[in-house]
A and B are shown apart, each in its own frame.
Chain A
Amino acid sequence: MQTDTKVIEEQAEREIYEGLSDFLNVFSKGIKTSLIYPPDNPIPREFKKSCWNKLHQHIQEFGLIEFEVHASSFMLNGETIHESRTREGNLPHVLHRDGIRRLMFKETITQIEWEQFFDDILTVMRAGEDYEDLVNLFWQRDFGSIDYDVVEDFSLAEIEDGFSAPEQQEVEYSEIILSESQVETKNALDALLDGSEKELAGLSEDDDFLGIFRNIQEFGPSEKAYLEDLMAADGELIIEFESIELLLDILLSEDELGNFDESLLTLDNMFDKMLDSEQFPLLVYLIQGMKKCYAELQKKSGPRADKFKDSLARVGDRIRISRITNLLNSSEWQDFDGIRLYLEELEWKSMPSLIWMLGELNNFPARKMVIEALINKGRDRIEIIGNAIHDSRWYVVRNAVLILGEIGDNKGLSYMRKALEHFDERVRWEAVVAVEKLASKSDLKILIPYLKDESERIRHKVIEMFSQNRYDPAFEAIQEIVKSSQFNGMGFEEQKNLLKALAFTGGDNALPVLKKIVKKRSFFSARASQKKKEAAVLAISLIETEDAWKLIEEAANKKKGPLANLAQLILDKKGRVAADRNTEGD
C-alpha cells in the first residue's frame, strides 16, 4: 500500500517537472523566435500568447511555479528542468547575468504581467548586454505576481567603517535644561508662521507669498493646481532633448578654450554612445542643434567655429557611416525612419559616403531607405550623385541612376549617356527608366541607339517611349529596323510595337513601308505573315491622315478575309459609323 502511494506521488511529481520543463522550452523557443522578428510583428505576439497558455494551464493544475536560475539552466529541487547551451537567446544566462537566482510566478499572475515580463526579457536580449538591466526593468513594472531573488555584492560592514564613533562627551544635561528654560524668546519660525512678520524684515509687504506658509499643513486648491501643472509641464518634456540643448548651451558659453575643447569632446562622446545604442531620433536632434550652434560660433572670432566644424563633419564620416552600415546589415528590421532622418541631416559632403553605403548594404529595405534619403538629400547636389556613375560596382551605378531619376532634375540627364553605355543590362534598364523621367522630348535622342539594345525589355521600353512621344527623329532608325531582315525574326509583340512606333514617329512617311507589308504576298508561314499584316493595318490606322484612311478603306474593300474584317472594324470604330457602335467591341 505504502509503495503505491509513493509511486503515485512520484508520478505526480514527474508530471509537474515535465509540465514545467515543457513550458520553459516553449518559453525559451518563443524568445529565440521573437528575436528574429520586429517587435510589432504578429509572430512574437503569437508566441507570447502560446507561452501564456502553457503557463496558465500549468499554474491552474499545479499551483505556483518556482525554480532556481543557474548560469545555463533552470533547476527545481536539484533537478535540471531546462538547459540552454547556445549563446544566442540563452534564457537562463540572461536572468543569471543580472543577478537573478530564483524566479516565481504566483497563481494570481495575469496575462498582462506575463507579457510585460516576456517583453522585458526581449528588450534586454535585443539591447545586448551593455544597455539594459533586467532587474531595473522588472522594478519599473511593479509586478504583483512575479517574484525574484537577486544576489547582492555589498557588505554593510565596509560602509559602517566609514562612520566615526560618536564623540563621548560629558554633557551636563540638567544644566542645559536649566539655562535653556531661562530663554524666553519665542523661536523665529513660530514668529514667522504666526504672522508676526517683524522677524522677516524686508519681506513683510509680500503677503501673498508668506500666505503660502502660514497654513503650512494644508494645500489649497490653487496650490495643488500649481503643483499639478508643474508636474504636467515637466511630463511633456523630452528630457533627452533638454540635455542635448544644455550641452550645446554650455559649449556656446565656454570662454576658456580648454573648456570648449572638453565640451566638444563630451559632445562627440555622447554622439558615439547614442549611435552605439541606436538612438536615431536623439541623434537627429543633436545634429540639428549642432548646426544651429555652428551658425552661432561662426559669428564669433577664434578657432572655435573651425573646431566645431570638424566635429560636425565627423557626423557623416566614413567611420560613423560604416557603423550604421554594419548595423543595417546586422538585422533585417531597424528604425529605418530614424536612420533615414539621420542620413538626411548629413552635409552634402557625406553624400559619397552614403553612395558607398548603398553598395555595402545587403538587404533591400535598407537600400531602399538609403535611396530615399539620397533622393531627398541629393536635390541640390546632382553632381555628387552623378559622379557615382563612374563607380566600378554596377549596383552602385544603378542606384545612382535611380536616384537621379527620382530627383527628376533635368541636370541628371547628362550622366545618363554614360549610364546607358554600361555593360550591365540592369544599369542600362534603370537609365532608360530615368531618362523617361528626366528627358524633355528633344532629349530622347540619346535613346535611339538602344532601339537595338541586346535586351528585349530595353528595346521594348525605348520603342514604347518613342511611340508615346511621337518622336519623329527616331523614325529613320525605326524604319531601318523594320526594313531589315532581322525584323522578320522578331517576335510578334515586338514587331507590332515597332510598326506602331513607325506610325507614330513617321506619320504619312511611314505609309510606304506599312503598305508594302500589307500587300506583300507570302507563301511561307502564312499565319505569321497574316498577323504581321494585321499589325500593319492597325499601325496605319494610328496615323489618322486621309492617305492613311484611304489605305484602310482599300483593305476593307478587298475580298472577304480577316484583314478586310479588321479594316472594316477599324473604320466602324473610328467615327466612320454611328456613335452608339463606338462603345461596342474592342
Chain B
Amino acid sequence: MTQPEAINSGVQLSDAEKREIANLQALGRDLATQLYVCLKTASFYDPRNDNFKKQISKFLDLLHVATDHESHLSITDVDGYLFLNDQRLKIKLDGYLAAKYLQSQFENLGVAGMEFSVKTELEELEKAFSQVVRSDLKVRNAENLNDYFRGLEIKNIKFIPSLTIDDCRDDDDDESERTSAKKTFFQALSVVQQVMGGFAQQKKRNTNFFKAKRAIHGIIDEIIKNESYMLELTVLRNYDQYTYKHSVNVSVFAVALGIRLGLSKARLAELGFAALFHDFGKTRIPIDLLNKPESFNALDWSKMHEHPIYGAKALAQAFPMDSHTARAMLVAFEHHKNIDGTGYPYINRARPMNLFSRIVSMCDYFDAVTSGRVYSKKPMPLDQVIMQMIKQAKVKFDPYLLKVLINIIGIYPVGSLLLLDTGELALVVANNMNDIFRPDVRILADTRGKKEQTPVVQLTEYDRENEKYVRNVVHLVDPEKYGIDISEYILES
C-alpha cells in the first residue's frame, strides 16, 4: 500500500538533492517572511527607528546567505504562488500571513515581485523599503517604480513587471477574478446538486466522481488565488437548496483551513472532497423534514441523527473505493462527533476523531449556525458564533484548529454588519489576514442614511499625522434584527 500522498513520479531525487531543495525552501520562506516584516515595519516606523534598522539588516544577512548560489534573487507572485527565483515556495502555517501580505503588497504596487542583486547594500534597502510604502506615484507599475528608484540612486533593487500589461488592471482583474471565483463556486454547487440529487442514476463511467474531484480542484486553485472572494460567496444565503449550498460552503472553509495548515495538494483535494459530501447522508432524509420551519421534535432528531451513518454507507456505494471516498466516509460518519468522544452517532469505536473530521465538523457548525438552519431556526449573531465555538473548544472542537479557523474567517466574519466609530454602518467583505480585528468593509450608510456609492475601505487605514486609525469597530450589529438582506451587497463591484 502506498500512502495517499505518495504519487508515483517515476523519477527519484537523490537524498542530497532533496536536502538541498528543503534547505532552499526553508531559506526562501525565511526571506519572504523577513521581506514582509521589513515592509510592515517600514509602514509603521520612521526609517531612523532602531527596530526598523534591525529588521533590514536581518534581511540583508539572509539575502547574503541566499545569494551564495545566485547573483540575483527574486521574490515573485505568480498566480497566487510565491516564487524564489524559479522555485515555488511551499508555504506553511507560520509563513502564510507573510506570503499573503507580500502578494497583496505586490498587487498594490502593480508589480509581480522584487529582485535583489548580490551587491545590495544596507542603505539601499533602508531607502527602498521606507520609500516603497510611502511613494505616492499616481500609476504604480514596475516601470514607474524602477524609474523612481533610479532617481533615488537605488541600483540593486528592481521591481519585476506583472504579466498583465493592462494599465488599468485593477478593476478588470478584480472583476475577472471575482467572476472566476463565482464560476468555480457555482460549478461546485452544480456538481453537488447532480451527485446528491440523483446519485442513484450513476452512469457506468464514474462521471460524477471525476466531476466532483475537478470541482474541488477548482475550489483549491481559486482559494490559493484569492481566498476572500471564495469566502464572500459562502455568505450568500438565498439559495433554494440549502444542503447543497451548505456543502460547498463547508468545503470552501475546510480547504482554506487546509491551505493554512500547509497540506499538500493531494490531501487538500481529499479534504475538499470529504467536506463537500459530509452531509451525503441527508439524501435519505425527506426534504420536508430538512425544510421543516418548526423546531424539530424527538422523532425528527432521531431521523436526522441517522445521516452520518447513512452517509458513510451511501458514499461507499456511490463512489469507487479510493482515498477520496475513504476520507469522505470517515468525515461523513464523524462530522457530528466531538473531540471528547461525545456527539452522535453513538457506536462502539475506539478511534480518535480524524484530522479531516475535526476540520469539517468545525466548518460545518460555523456554516450551519451562521445560516440559521438545523441547529436553530434563526441565524446566530456572528459575535456569538465565534464565542460559542471557543466556549466549546474543549469538548466539541480541536482548540488549535479552531484558532486557525478564526484566523481565516476573522473576528468579524464576512457578512458581518459593523458599527464604526465614525458613525458609519459597514458590511465586512473580506478578512484581513494581517489583522483579523480590522477587516475590509463596505460602507453602507452613515448618520445621514443609506449611501448611493458603497466604497470598500480597509479598517487598517492609518492616519499618520494624528497617529491613529481612521476607523474603528464599535460593535457588531445583527442584520436580522433590522431586516437587512446583506446578499445584495455580496459580490457587488
A-side residues, CB < 8 A to B, are: 48, 98, 111-112, 115-116, 118-119, 129-131, 133, 135-136, 139-142, 144, 152, 154, 156, 158-160, 162-169, 171-174, 176-178, 180-181, 183, 185-189, 192-193, 199-200, 203, 206, 209-210, 212-213, 216-217, 219, 223-224, 226-227, 230-231, 233-243, 245-247, 249-250, 252-253, 259, 262-263, 266, 269-270, 273-274, 277, 279, 281-282
Contacts and interface: CB of A to CB of B under 8 A. Distances in A.
A183 B478 CA distance: 13
B388 to A, nearest CB: 9
A159 B383 contact: no
Contacts of A165: 238
A182 to B, nearest CB: 11
Interface stretch (B110-118, B160-168, B404-412): B404-412
Contacts of B348: 249, 252-253
Interface string B356-381: 10000000000000000000000000
B436 A213 contact: no
Nearest to A139: B217
Contact of A162 (B7, B240, B333, B482): B240
B425 A235 contact: no
Nearest to B218: A139
Interface string B250-275: 00000000000111011101100000
A212 B403 contact: yes
A245 B348 CA distance: 12
A119 B9 contact: yes
Nearest to A169: B483
A233 to B, nearest CB: 8
Interface string B102-142: 00000000000000000000000000000000000000000
Interface stretch (B63-71, B289-297, B313-321, B462-470): B313-321
Contact of B330 (A119, A162, A239): A239
Given A140-B269, A160-B186, A183-B475, A250 B313 contact: yes
Contacts of B322: 240
Given A140-B266, A162-B239, A246-B329, A154 B190 contact: yes
Given A160-B186, A171-B450, A177-B446, A223 B485 contact: no
A449 B179 CA distance: 90
Contacts of A144: 88
Contacts of B261: 227, 231
A224 B403 CA distance: 11
A253 B10 CA distance: 43
6 smallest CB-CB distances across A and B, nearest first, come from: A173-B445, A243-B326, A166-B488, A253-B347, A133-B210, A234-B355
B316 A116 contact: no
A162 B488 CA distance: 15
A266 B313 contact: yes
Given A250-B312, A253-B348, A115 B187 contact: no
Given A135-B214, A213-B403, A250 B387 contact: no
B329 A185 contact: no
Given A130-B204, A162-B239, A163-B236, A246 B330 contact: yes
Given A140-B269, A171-B482, A212-B400, A235 B387 contact: no
Contacts of A210: 390
B291 to A, nearest CB: 14
B355 A247 contact: no
B238 A164 contact: yes
Interface residues of B, number: 101
Contacts of B317: 266, 269-270
Contacts of A186: 475
A219 to B, nearest CB: 6
Given A140-B266, A247-B316, A277 B321 contact: yes
A269 B403 CA distance: 40
Interface in B392-444: 393-394, 398-404, 406-407, 411, 419, 423-425, 435-436, 444
Contact of A176 (B94, B407, B482): B482
Of A219, A224, A226, chain B has the most CB atoms within 10 Å of the CB of A219
A164 B240 contact: yes
A237 B309 CA distance: 21
Contact of A243 (B266, B330, B435): B330
A166 B485 contact: yes
B313 A262 contact: yes
B321 A273 contact: yes
Contact of B9 (A112, A180, A245): A112
Given A163-B239, A224-B93, A269-B317, A176 B11 contact: no
B8 A119 contact: yes
B487 interface: yes
Contacts of A263: 313
B327 A239 contact: yes
Given A129-B205, A213-B390, A213-B403, A119 B487 contact: no
Interface string B235-252: 010111100000000000
B61 to A, nearest CB: 22
B333 A238 contact: no
Given A135-B210, A279-B321, 13 more contacts: A119-B9, A156-B183, A166-B488, A171-B482, A176-B482, A181-B419, A181-B474, A209-B394, A224-B93, A231-B263, A240-B326, A270-B316, A270-B317
Nearest to B319: A273
Nearest to B323: A239
Contact of B390 (A111, A129, A192): A192
A217 B313 contact: no
B445 A177 contact: yes
Contact of B436 (A118, A217, A223, A269): A217
A237 to B, nearest CB: 8
A292 B158 CA distance: 67
A385 B205 CA distance: 41
B419 A180 contact: yes
A245 B351 contact: yes
A395 B215 CA distance: 53
18 contacts: A131-B320, A139-B265, A141-B7, A160-B186, A162-B240, A162-B241, A163-B487, A164-B240, A171-B482, A203-B394, A219-B93, A219-B94, A230-B400, A239-B327, A243-B316, A249-B348, A253-B349, A270-B317
